Amino acid sequence: MRRTKIGRWWYKFSQNPLSVAGLVIVILVVFCAVFASWVAPYPEHAGPYVNYNEANHPPSLSHPFGTDVFGRDVLSRVIFAFRSSLLMGVVVLAMVVPVGVTLGLLAGYFKESWIDILIMRITDIFLSVPPLILALAITSVLKPNLTNAMIAVSVMWWPWYTRLVYGMATSLRNEYFVQSAELIGASKFHILFREILPNCVSTILTKMTLDMGWVILIGAALSFVGLGEQPPKPALGTMVADGAKYLPEYWWISVFPGLAIMLIVLGFNLLGDGIGDLFSLEEA
């Protein structure tokens, strides 16, 4: 039996069935988001569609998640809503990670210098504001739409990466291999990005995976109060809000989007745990 690197990773990863479950959920969600037009039974319901004859029907064979007040198929809308959720997660992380990580590296390596103090105090300020309040404040100043929601979440999310990397950089800079590089005369750029950063990557990746779930959740919270993706484009939070008025009679309008949010967060959490285990055991 050939032993490949991927095979070894899968062997370790699959030791925990929950991690595998997480991976399956995430793959499913991504698949639905990408191929929504083909997967959703009524793709046109994700746009401006109205049919009052079909409104508020409970779950049935033709509409497994029921229909909402405008007669739109809830299942199809949930599948399309995955798109804005995932987009939010990906874009926010793409903006936040480079900035947060770089700041953390600088502050940690130059610990106790003015760089450290400047960066970490700013980080502390951002961290001290309750996240949701900050996001709400920003989105209410700007026009409410998906782009601005992403900006708002990014603004409050970057400090976590700075903190995370700061801690790691602070301890890594005392490692003998970093001191060796310094003694050899390597440039600061080299030490930060080629010696220290590679040793942080596994932790950062794990956090990014877990964060996907949380960013999506915050995004849903924002759209719940009307500050995210605007109608008629479907968004999970908005769908929960719209259906809230009709609880408990037409429960399916809120509950299924809510379950979808839960599923996404759960999936990324389990996957993130699995990835974390994979990296920590690799060192052994």
Query: Which stretches of the chain bind other proteins, using CB under 8 A?
Result: 1-3, 7-8, 11-12, 175-187, 190, 194-195, 198-199, 201, 283
Contact status, residue 263 vs residue 21, Cβ threshold 8 Å: no
At a CB cut-off of 8 Å and minimum separation 6, what does 162 contact? 100, 101, 103, 104, 107, 119, 120, 123
C-beta closer to other proteins: residue 7 or 130: 7
How near is the Cβ of 180 to other proteins at its closest, in Å? 6
- Least distance from other proteins to the Cβ atom of residue 174, Å: 10
Minimum distance from residue 111 beta carbon to other proteins (Å)? 15
Could you give the angle at the alpha carbon of 237 between the alpha carbons of 232 and 243, nearest 5°? 75
Q: For other proteins, which is the closer residue by CB, 2 or 61?
A: 2
Shortest Å, Cβ 147 to other proteins = 36
Q: Are 264 and 213 in contact (CB under 8 A)?
A: yes
Smallest gap, in angstroms, from Cβ of residue 212 to other proteins? 24
Our CB check for other proteins shows the closer of 52 and 176 to be: 176
How many of the other CB atoms lie within 10 Å of CB of 282? 11
Choose between 11 and 38: whose C-beta lies nearer to other proteins: 11
If the CB atoms of residues 188 and 245 are measured against other proteins, the closer one turns out to be: 188
| Per-residue tokens: 244 | 């809230």
Number of C-alpha atoms within 13 angstroms, CB side, residue 178?
20
